[in-house]
Amino acid sequence: MDYIRTEADGQLTLAQSTEFLILPSCLYGFNNTETTVETAKSGRLVYCHKGTLDLPEEERICTCGRRMHINSHPDIYIRHLCIGGNLSVLSFPHNQLRCPECGATKSQYISFKSAGHFITDALHQYTCDLLARGTYTNKQVAEITGLGENTVMFFGSSRYSITFISSRTSMTK
């Protein structure tokens, strides 16, 4: 796989192999079709990995047995692990399904998305691992992960409540 950078829109195009690595992503079902380099409001560079997400046929079967239609597919943006000091985001059309028989609707399942947040499980786990070390402030974790301080604080508070519950459980033994 070879890429070069075109001047026009920052898009990375297949051409030479000297500047790129091919890495395992563990983003099951995601097909990266192009990557652009953009700049965030903060001034940090963002690798924007665009592509598509596989829609398995079995996921299209409604509980009533009919095959669901794709009602719409708005682009979704999911923050992923930083690469050095640069941010990265995945972007793909997120299928919204509707059953023509019973009218049931659902969003396509994204196996690598952290529940309740527009970030990957990998980024969520990394953030929690940094917090668990206990040597970084929320502000430092936010800087390293590229997440907002409020999000980091939220993950930190869920972790502390788990720690609190487990230590209380062990005390009653």
* Residue ranges in contact with Zn ion by CB under 5 A: 62, 64, 66, 99, 101-102, 104
Closer by beta carbon to Zn ion, 107 or else 161: 107
- For 51-68, b/e burial (b = at least 16 CB within 10 A) is bebebeeeebebeeeeeb
Q: Read off the tokens for 19.
A: 């500047």
Least distance to Zn ion, CB of residue 96, Å: 15
Closer by beta carbon to Zn ion, 56 or else 85: 56
Contact predicate 117/110, CB 8 Å: no
Least distance to Zn ion, CB of residue 142, Å: 43
Least distance to Zn ion, CB of residue 76, Å: 24
Least distance to Zn ion, CB of residue 23, Å: 40
> What type of residue is 70?
I
Closer by beta carbon to Zn ion, 50 or else 106: 106
Biggest distance spanned by C-alpha atoms of the chain = 65
- The angle at the Cα of 107, spanning 129 to 66, to the nearest 5 degrees, equals 140
State the Cα–Cα distance between residues 40 and 19, nearest whole angstrom. 23
Closer by beta carbon to Zn ion, 61 or else 153: 61
Question: What are the strands of the beta sheet with 96-98, ordered from one edge?
Answer: 69-72, 96-98, 105-107
- Sign for the pseudo-dihedral over CA of 148, 44, 135, 165: positive
Q: Read off the tokens for 88.
A: 């990265």
Closer by beta carbon to Zn ion, 88 or else 95: 95
Least distance to Zn ion, CB of residue 97, Å: 10
